[in-house]
A = this chain, B = another copy of it.
Amino acid sequence: MMIKADPMLMIPGPTPVPASVLEVLARAPIGHRSSEFKATMKSVYTRLKWIFQTEQPVFLYTASGTGAMEAALVNTVNPGELVLVLSCGVFSKRWAEIAKTLGMNVTLQEIPDGQAFSPDDVAGILKAQSGFKAVCLIQSETSTGVLNPVESLTAAIKQHSDALVFVDTVTSLAAAPFYMDQWGVDIAVSGSQKGFMTPPGLAFLAVSERAMAAHKTCKTPGYYFNFTQNEKNIESGQTPYTPAVSLIRGLDKALEMMQTDGLEAIFKRHQLTQSMAREAMRRLGLALFVESDILASPAVTSVIPPQGVSVDDIRAGLREQFGITIANGQKDLIGKIFRIGHLGAIFPRDMLTTLSALEILLYQSGYRQYPLGTAVGAAQEVMVASHD
């Protein structure tokens, strides 16, 4: 078929880009040293601080979120120094891979997929071993759908050590509450293709005074991601090297829309689509991979398919019949869970669409415990209740 519904991304990134942002992205690039672009860049720098809820500098890199993770470590930790990584899935574990590659001395603490860390876990680890330069963790573990309680984990880390706290907020920023300064986080990183409703290509890194101080004593801070180079360009509304001009102009538009709505409204919308997904799956009798509502990410909902139903078949059917993409599990979880993204410019309308299509696929795959309309009916009820 040539005539088909435009693709609908229900994955935890890249997320859909609103038409108003696409229009800006379609404009011809302007020079990155022009006064027009400097004004845009200054606006972006200011707005990024608001997103991270920080008064401290936020750097913008033309890179993926992984680049910003490397930036955090390479700028602050010397080879041979101790790094603790709290891993609860593929993305939090990446901190360890990066740190090892950079020659750091890594302690990797892993918990089973689908679980979050507790402050007690952290206290136990830090009582057993000390001397960490940095503790790396994640807020929303995209591979499992877990939301770590970053506020209390950061407090526990600070109580039991002097380590810097680095948080991967790639899929949590602008979806789950995150308060960099208030919580005392030292570095937080994110990327444009997530809650920012912008295509991939930009990474953001918010940095505390403590982390900047560590950077000043770092012997191997790297070049492209170097904090000093980036910091000194902020004042003049520039970046040290040529940035992705078009993406940044689109990002400024997206951030403007986000500021107009406010963080509370954005969090509430994510919570609503998340609740719709979770309630629909429960009503269909399916098991949620993260059972606790509080420890579930507002960016992505992981679901265990019914016995005998293939994740590949569901995903292929959703794509072919409806033009909808949802995610498979990753690594060990491939085929064991499917993941419905609800991050960024995703609305209750999209969730009704996805759930009614998904329900058809489950039915076609032989799972017929409940009549058609059951899952989407549950989501409709959640939506109706949200208006009461």
Contact = CB atoms under 8 A, between A and B. Distances in A.
Interface range on chain A (Cβ under 8 Å from partner):
35 or more
A292 B350 CA distance: 32
B1 A265 contact: yes
Interface in A334-388: 345, 347-350, 352-353, 356-357, 359-360, 363-364, 371-381, 383-384, 387
Given A356-B352, A357-B352, A3 B322 contact: no
Q: Among the interface residues A266, A347, A349, A372, which one has the most CB atoms of the partner chain B within 10 A?
A: A349
Interface in A255-278: 256-258, 260-261, 265-266, 269
A233 interface: no
Given A377-B371, A380-B360, A3 B352 contact: no
Nearest to A258: B3
Nearest to A257: B2
A6 interface: yes
- State the main secondary structure of chain A at its contact with B: helix
Contact of A372 (B347, B372, B380): B380
Contact of A348 (B321, B348, B352): B321
Given A373-B376, A381-B372, A5 B349 contact: yes
Interface of A: 1-6, 8, 18-19, 26, 197, 256-258, 260-261, 265-266, 269, 321-324, 345, 347-350, 352-353, 356-357, 359-360, 363-364, 371-381, 383-384, 387
Q: What 5 pairs between A and B have smallest CB-CB spacing?
A: A373-B377, A373-B373, A372-B380, A2-B257, A2-B260
